[in-house]
Structure 1
Amino acid sequence: MSSSFVVACVGKPSAGKSSFLNAVTDAAAKVGNFPFTTIEPNQGIAYYPLECPCSKHGVSKQCKPRYGWCKNGRRFVPIRLLDVAGLVPGASEGRGLGNRFLDDLRQADVLIHVVDASGTTDDNGREAKGYDPVGDIQWLRSEIEAWVFGNIERRWPGVVRRHKATKSLAVDTLHAQLAGYGTTRDIVQRAMDTVVRLQLIEARDDISQWSTEDLRRFVGVFLDQRFPTIVALNKIDMPDADKNIAAILKRYRRQPNVVLRDGVSEENIVLTSALSECFLRRMVKQRFIEYTTGDDDFKSLDDDPALTELRELDDKARRRLDNIRDLVLFRYGSTGVQEVIVRAVEAVGFVPVYPVKSVVNFGASSTDSSSAAFQDCVLVRPGTTVREFARKMHNQLDVNFAGAETVGNLQLAEDDVIVAGKNNIIKITTTAQ
């Protein structure tokens, strides 16, 4: 049982994307079972941390996730991470691996754009000195925008003719044109609502009156809704990173009642050091330190001689760990990689849902109190109803749906929207039971 949630990791060559992927997809090699039938070579598994209800309901000892794991009431839910081909300027015109890159995006719910904050690679990923990375976010977004806009613009005269003939609603016509980008009608509606709220297009409801610029503005707003973007500002411990970070944060400081600049806002920019995270994890595997991803520090035998299970560090490893501690952990509070995953999931507002057989013991059995509790956690889109969740779980649950209830034996209506902390622990009853 799984979420269909997909995060696409994008960026120019040599920005540190491979290091970032290694840093976030190796969190639990010991947990080898994944809720995905096929993992392609350019895909991996990352883990989204959240508070597990097992602690609140006193069944921590019985909590045995089928996928991922739970430790001290902290649950780690697997999500699919897609490694998209490195992008260079001109990708929308087929330069480099542009066509593959842009086709891969159709699968994604959220983008993580890895940006080299150090200025040591130019826009083509070649080694450079003093390169200004401030424009990297803008040109990547412009390539995606040019791809979508170009595809629609070529068909626009025919679209307008059909729209007039069928007298369709503007949102329905636009959704028909954008469905190929893995979108839903709700996303198109939100984009239209934003256009209306910000008064970006005068003839809002009559797309036959739209100018080329009107269409371009709508596409930009649509992309904000369809591909929320988290920027992993990487290599923060490198020389010159500080001034580049300050310039990027200033450029993307959010303004109220204004369309996002290049689809990015300051709160969705996370400072990261992927190589530091990779090194810390390697030191953990080799039993030199105690460390958990997201922590603001680690412990070695130097820090606590009582940790006799740890090995003694050599001078080279000690110097590197001291640098990571000073330049990354103490300065920024963490390596940032886990925060990127958290922001990616929360950017869409996905809701964790726990399907159970019993709303009393939360187990796989309604009669055996010792059975494994909260075995499954499924991330669903905001606005998902109880009946839609049943359908997502299995078509037979939908066909034979007889009712649903949550904690306290409270009955749920099939059109009740699932809300975290309110009704997201669900027992579904079927006529076949």
Structure 2
Amino acid sequence: MNMIAKAVDSIPDLPPLEEWDNEWITKMVKAFMRVKFPTVLALNKIDHPDADKNVSKILLKYPDTRAVLTSAITEVFLRKLAKQHYIKYEEGTEFIDTLEDLGEESGLKALDEKLLQRVENIRDLVLYRFGSTGVVQVLQEAAKVLDLVPIFTVRNIQTFTGNSGTNVFRDCTLVKKGTTVASVARIIIGEITVAAVEGVGGKRVGMDDTVDIGKNDILSFKIAPGGFNANATF
């Protein structure tokens, strides 16, 4: 029923049901489909020479659908280079640094001429032009249309590290916006008694409080004595 209500509310000047003709029925069906199946278009291969023409056609055909321009192959390539310590790459941004940019103290390996030219092409044709590869952005848009909030559970609320030690914000769970902290706890750690919940700055968070982007989205759960591990925190 909630989906139907959302669909109805999204149609301006909708007449009473008994006055619906085929045109209004079609509008209602389309509105319901948008609510039932929220969609984000990932328009991939923006590095392709024909990308501009194809993107324009798709955007004209689906003007009401969220679209993100992406280059998945570029994202994979950059992550691979970063993992092999050839570049420093901040995912979701346009920023790439090489040995030539940062110097030997960066610990990066030298790129050969072919790889260096490819990185420069990526900078010019994808990153500087579009702002990023779009891969992170399409995931963000998907979470947004589904009303999902990323919840980061940490062991140390001051350093934002988890059980793994030095990794910051390693664990992330997507939940519906407006979910209570108690429900988040059940999703993440199950039916375990929670002694306390801390938010940013060590602030106590109530189990009945709700989560949203920027609100109770970084949490540390303190397990009560008698749980599976009296010293465990999440």
TM-score where L is the length of structure 2: 0.68
Cα distance in 1 between the residues matched to 2:159 and 2:106: 40
Measure how far apart 1:307 and its partner are.
5.3
Measure how far apart 1:382 and its partner are.
1.5
Measure how far apart 1:403 and its partner are.
9.0
Cα distance in 1 between the residues matched to 2:105 and 2:168: 33
* Within-5 A mapping of 1:85-234: 171=1, 186-195=2-11, 198-200=12-14, 202-203=16-17, 214-234=24-44
Cα distance in 1 between the residues matched to 2:221 and 2:142: 28
**Equivalent of residue 300 in structure 1, options 80, 88, 98:** 98
Contact 1:328 1:335 in 2 (8 A): yes
Measure how far apart 1:429 and its partner are.
8.2
Contact 2:181 2:206 in 1 (8 A): no
Q: Tell me the alpha carbon deviations over residues 139-169 of structure 1, each in whole angstroms, 9 at most, x when there is no partner.
A: xxxxxxxxxxxxxxxxxxxxxxxxxxxxxxx
In the alignment, what sits opposite 2:114? 316
Measure how far apart 1:236 and its partner are.
1.7
Measure how far apart 1:431 and its partner are.
11
Gaps of 5+ in 2: 228-234
Cα distance in 2 between the residues matched to 1:299 and 1:361: 26
Contact 2:197 2:204 in 1 (8 A): no
Identity, % of aligned pairs? 37
Higher relative contact order (CA 8 A, sep 6+): 1
* Within-5 A mapping of 1:296-375: 296-306=94-104, 309-353=107-151
Cα distance in 2 between the residues matched to 1:237 and 1:193: 39
Secondary structure of 1:232 counterpart = strand
Cα distance in 2 between the residues matched to 1:313 and 1:363: 33
Measure how far apart 1:290 and its partner are.
2.7
In the alignment, what sits opposite 1:27? none
In the alignment, what sits opposite 1:419? 212
Q: CA separation of 1:285/1:351 partners in 2, compared to 1, >3 Å: closer, same or farther? A: closer
Q: CA separation of 1:202/1:430 partners in 2, compared to 1, >3 Å: closer, same or farther? A: farther
Measure how far apart 1:345 and its partner are.
1.5
In the alignment, what sits opposite 1:269? 67
**Equivalent of residue 53 in structure 2, options 225, 230, 243:** 243
Cα distance in 1 between the residues matched to 2:191 and 2:161: 21
Q: Tell me the alpha carbon deviations over residues 90-128 of structure 1, each in whole angstroms, 9 at most, x when there is no partner.
A: xxxxxxxxxxxxxxxxxxxxxxxxxxxxxxxxxxxxxxx
In the alignment, what sits opposite 1:178? none
Contact 1:359 1:408 in 2 (8 A): no
Measure how far apart 1:325 and its partner are.
1.7
Cα distance in 2 between the residues matched to 1:432 and 1:393: 18
In the alignment, what sits opposite 2:80? 282
| Matching residue's letter, 1:229 | T
Cα distance in 1 between the residues matched to 2:160 and 2:121: 46
Cα distance in 1 between the residues matched to 2:125 and 2:27: 41
Gaps of 5+ in 1: 1-170, 172-185, 254-259, 365-369
Secondary structure of 2:177 counterpart = coil
| Matching residue's letter, 1:225 | V
- 2:173 matches 1:389: no
Contact 1:187 1:222 in 2 (8 A): yes
Contact 2:143 2:149 in 1 (8 A): no
TM-score where L is the length of structure 1: 0.41
Cα distance in 2 between the residues matched to 1:306 and 1:269: 40
Secondary structure of 1:331 counterpart = helix
In the alignment, what sits opposite 1:3? none
| Matching residue's letter, 1:194 | S
* Within-5 A mapping of 1:30-45: none
Q: CA separation of 1:193/1:392 partners in 2, compared to 1, >3 Å: closer, same or farther? A: farther
Q: CA separation of 1:279/1:249 partners in 2, compared to 1, >3 Å: closer, same or farther? A: same
**Equivalent of residue 379 in structure 1, options 170, 174, 180:** 174
Measure how far apart 1:250 and its partner are.
5.4
Cα distance in 1 between the residues matched to 2:95 and 2:168: 32
Secondary structure of 2:10 counterpart = helix
| Matching residue's letter, 1:317 | L
Measure how far apart 1:326 and its partner are.
1.5
Cα distance in 1 between the residues matched to 2:43 and 2:94: 18
| Matching residue's letter, 1:189 | A
Aligned residues: 222
In the alignment, what sits opposite 1:50? none
Say what the alpha-carbon RMSD is for the aligned residues: 4.2
Contact 1:200 1:217 in 2 (8 A): no
| Matching residue's letter, 2:51 | A
Measure how far apart 1:246 and its partner are.
4.1
Cα distance in 1 between the residues matched to 2:60 and 2:171: 42
| Matching residue's letter, 2:8 | M
Contact 1:301 1:312 in 2 (8 A): yes
